[in-house]
Structure 1
Amino acid sequence: MRRIALMVLCMLVTVPAHAEIYRWTDARGSIHFSDTPPNLEGHAAITVREPVTVPLSVNIRQSEKVRQSRQSVERLLHSKSKKRYAKAAKDEQMKASQCAKYRAQLDRIQMQLRAGYSNDRGNNLRQKRRKVSQLYGNHCVLD
């Protein structure tokens, strides 16, 4: 007997409550909501829609799609960044090698100038040193 009463009670508890909701504005302009109609005129019944529920399987499928999209974007970004960093590293290596060549040229020209040449030869070496020094400054110091 108790089991039957308990089952009936559980079924009654799980039945959704269906009450009307009323809305009215009082003399001061405040808006009120209630489940019992007021004794005033000018109240309106409000229809409340049932909440939208999405089955768990739909949520799981949607989250799987989002996860796959994120993974594909991460793969694209990762591969592009690898290529970009590889290119940047290669460019940096080429720049370092070119800077080393400029530095070696400047050292060689400086040694030749110290050896003492005639004015014509010395002027040519100084002009060459200026050019190489400008290239070194533009490509290696300012960048």
Structure 2
Amino acid sequence: MPWRQAAVFVSVFIPAVSVAEVYRWIDDQGVAHFSDRKPSEGEHEQVELNRPSLVPMRENITRGKRVSAISEQVNRSLQAGNGRQPSGKPEARARERNNARCQGYRQKLERIHQQLRAGYSNDQGNRLRRKRREVSQKLSRQCLLD
């Protein structure tokens, strides 16, 4: 029985809210007013409202959990190392060069983050975000996925 009452309530009151009209007018002092009732005097205009956009949160939560799991896996593999020991000097030098390159990518990312936090114009912000994306991709491809 409570489900029926809830269904009746929703079917009666929700459509009434969605067709509500909104009016806008400016008073003598230049202040804009909004109301669901027409003003008794003065000029007014009816405001058309767009339907609100709905974001499916379930998908965002699932994607967030997946990203967190991947991040944890990457962190564990970085802490444990990949288990391979260099068998000779050339491999050790190559590993050192790779570590230095990866450290350089991390430093570049930190500088870009500092610049983004410091404030920027639209063009500069777009350039910084593009550069951050490029450096992040290089870091993940060359350092995290090896």
TM-score (norm 1): 0.41
* Bigger-Rg structure (1/2): 1
